[in-house]
Structure 1
Amino acid sequence: MAVTPFAAWAVARLAGLERGALTTQLMTATPYAAAASLVPVLIAALARNRAATAVALAATTALGFAVVPRALASSDTATGRPLKVLTINLLFGRADTGAVLDLVRRLQPDVLSTQELTPGAVEELEAAGLKELLPYTYLLDEWSAGGSGLYAKYPLTPLRLFRPIGHQMPAARLDLPGGAPVEIADVHPYPPLGSQVHEWAAALDSFPATGPSGPVRILAGDFNASLDHAAMRRVLDRGYDDAADRAGQGLIPTWPANRGRIPPMITIDHVLVDKRVGVKEVSVHTVPGTDHRAVFASLTLPD
């Protein structure tokens, strides 16, 4: 009996069978299920039940193949123009302004993607000097969770890469020196709660594809999705890699942060990169005042 739940989980994960809000939310716990699936293997082996042992081993192997590679950095020797991307969900604009500015000064991103950007947060960030560091902006701020905005070192030209479903998701062309521009989208679909799960899936399915030709594209933000969601894997199938996954940092959780004794548990904030983009480094940072951790990616662009 101990084997059955993990075998079912493995089948659902591999086949993308999650349906409805509850199973979609549960799927974010797949890394923990993979670790826990070792217990039925031991129980079945001690009981000398060959059939149960075989099923338990198959489930553990399947879940392990889905999860373990995220902790293993892939060799990345790509060279080219550098691009640094930082993304952070500001939690209704409540993230500590000083901490955000300190992070920007320390990491020196070329572009900052913000979610839950309110008019109040825009004023506070500007007063603290953000526009001196990142003078070019494309902001769609709102007094709610729906606001988002891009800040950059270099000129931004608004684009309509896709039809946003859910929160504001500004996209822009970033005119970098020394080569072709990059297209970047600030991502923040609804969370898959209740009936919103359908809009969440539709939003992920609406994201534009990228490929070996045409402009390089990067999607950065709070996806409200992990790599264990079938809808998220469909995004990757359209020409993207998860930067943290490539850097061997794909199991570092980004939510919930700043919850006292409750540690971050799931990874739902991402920087997705065109497969032509090299990944040098990815790091995750806790910022006071918000329940999401910031994700930073140091990238190299194709010449």
Structure 2
Amino acid sequence: MFRRVLAAAVVVAVAAVLFVFAWPQFFGLQQTFGIAHVVSFRAAAALIAIALIVGLTLLALLARPVRRFFATLAVLLLAFTLVNAAVLSTRGFGDTAFETAGDSTVTVLSWNTLGDVPGAATVADLAIENDADILTLPETTKAFSLEVAALMKAAGRPMWVETTAFDQISKSRSTSVLWSADLGTYTVDESVGQTATLPTVVLRPDDGSGPTIISVHAVAPIPGEFRNWQADLDWLADTCAGENVIMAGDFNATLDHMSGLASSATTTLGDCADAALATGNAAVGTWPTTAPALLGSPIDHAMATENWRVSGMRVVQDQDGAGSDHRPLVAQFAPAG
């Protein structure tokens, strides 16, 4: 009798844990330490679950006295795998189709360069190849960004440059943004505050006609920074407010972590909607480059308010050898309506 009670208790506990990891939003635990890390890697978690299912199935076949116990655990893991597969499939495993760009189209390239590692020519070539109007570059210094801008100008794509650096000791504490001269001049808005540990750049158009541009770098949810990570996401949700905002960069957060931070049912974070989710790319991992994209974590994003329509988006997967631990992404926005 005791053995049955113990087995039942274990099954209930495992079922509860798997339910939390599969959909932490149900309990409001998506930003809880540990749970937030597991849900960041849904595909990898599902792959591990499949391996455990195989092992438990073999044990169930070999150990008759505990066959039902192991078989039940395997069924629970199968349900966990199917839930993750369903979530990932609804978010999309990659659709790289782009509409033909129009005169009012704005193309965004975002890349955490890990402290200028890929080299200015690599970043400039990628921006020119994709006809980028805005570059959001976390962990990128001003000197590097000016070099990128010079290369783009030489190719007929003059760009303005702005960098915010919290110090000159670590390149990770610099965030840069480049934008096309065709968009006009912009000024940094310091009145809105800042992300807590790593800088985010908020640019407002001087003539009031262009989009507010936000180059994002939220801190990672590591020990010692977890509360700052939560505060960063709250601040980003508050900062994406208004009718004309384009926001991109390293959010160090997946769509799961952003649950509950949208201002409406059609947005993702504040008034901004995620381009990857709109185009079927939200299950494609941007970090780390050492893992296959479909096993990685989609923590880099491009977003915009509802006056913009996403007309194309892709995670760039041919730069994994460039040195950064993040993949670049390219998003194309066209005026809505």
- Give TM-score, length-normalised by structure 2: 0.73
Of 70, 75, 87 in structure 2, the residue corresponding to residue 66 of structure 1 is 87
User: Is it true that 1:22 corresponds to 2:34 in the alignment?
Assistant: yes
Q: Which runs of 5+ in 2 are unaligned?
A: 1-9, 62-66, 263-267
Q: How does 1:126-165 map to 2 (within 5 A)?
A: 126-129=149-152, 133-141=157-165, 143=168, 144=170, 145-153=172-180, 154-155=183-184, 156-160=186-190, 162-164=192-194, 165=196
Contact 1:225 1:232 in 2 (8 A): no
| Number of the residue aligned with 2:336 | 302
- Runs of at least 4 residues off by over 6 Å: 38-54
The 3-state SS of whatever aligns with 1:272 is strand
Q: CA deviation at 1:23?
A: 3.1
User: Is it true that 1:284 corresponds to 2:312 in the alignment?
Assistant: no
Q: CA deviation at 1:65?
A: 4.4
Q: Measured at CA, do residues 87 and 55 of structure 1 come closer, stay the same or move farther in structure 2, by a change above 3 Å?
A: same
| Number of the residue aligned with 1:189 | 218
The 3-state SS of whatever aligns with 1:215 is coil
| Number of the residue aligned with 1:267 | 298
| Counterparts of 1:280 and 1:110, CA distance in 2 | 15
Contact 2:141 2:176 in 1 (8 A): no
* Aligned amino acid, residue 96 of structure 1: G
| Counterparts of 1:116 and 1:209, CA distance in 2 | 20
- Give TM-score, length-normalised by structure 1: 0.80
| Counterparts of 2:323 and 2:74, CA distance in 1 | 47
Q: How does 1:96-111 map to 2 (within 5 A)?
A: 96-111=119-134
**Alignment deviations for residues 138-183 of structure 1 (CA, whole Å, 9 cap, x no partner):** 222453211112111122232247321221111113479xx94211
Contact 2:112 2:139 in 1 (8 A): yes
Contact 1:150 1:186 in 2 (8 A): yes
User: Is it true that 1:166 corresponds to 2:197 in the alignment?
Assistant: yes
| Number of the residue aligned with 1:201 | 230
Bigger radius of gyration among the two:
2
Q: CA deviation at 1:110?
A: 1.1
| Counterparts of 1:118 and 1:138, CA distance in 2 | 10
Contact 1:84 1:109 in 2 (8 A): yes
Report the count of equivalent residues: 293
Contact 1:6 1:37 in 2 (8 A): no
Percent identity of paired positions between Structure 1 and Structure 2: 23
Contact 2:142 2:163 in 1 (8 A): no
| Number of the residue aligned with 1:10 | 22
Comparing 80-89 with 131-140, greater Cα deviation is found at: 131-140
Q: Which runs of 5+ in 1 are unaligned?
A: none
Q: Measured at CA, do residues 134 and 205 of structure 1 come closer, stay the same or move farther in structure 2, by a change above 3 Å?
A: farther
Q: Measured at CA, do residues 80 and 210 of structure 1 come closer, stay the same or move farther in structure 2, by a change above 3 Å?
A: farther
Contact 2:152 2:159 in 1 (8 A): no
Q: Measured at CA, do residues 6 and 255 of structure 1 come closer, stay the same or move farther in structure 2, by a change above 3 Å?
A: same
Give the alignment's Cα RMSD to 1 decimal. 3.6
The 3-state SS of whatever aligns with 2:261 is helix
| Counterparts of 2:254 and 2:217, CA distance in 1 | 13
**Alignment deviations for residues 270-290 of structure 1 (CA, whole Å, 9 cap, x no partner):** 102223421111112226121
| Number of the residue aligned with 2:6 | none
**Alignment deviations for residues 58-84 of structure 1 (CA, whole Å, 9 cap, x no partner):** 64554344332111789x99x993111
| Number of the residue aligned with 1:243 | 275
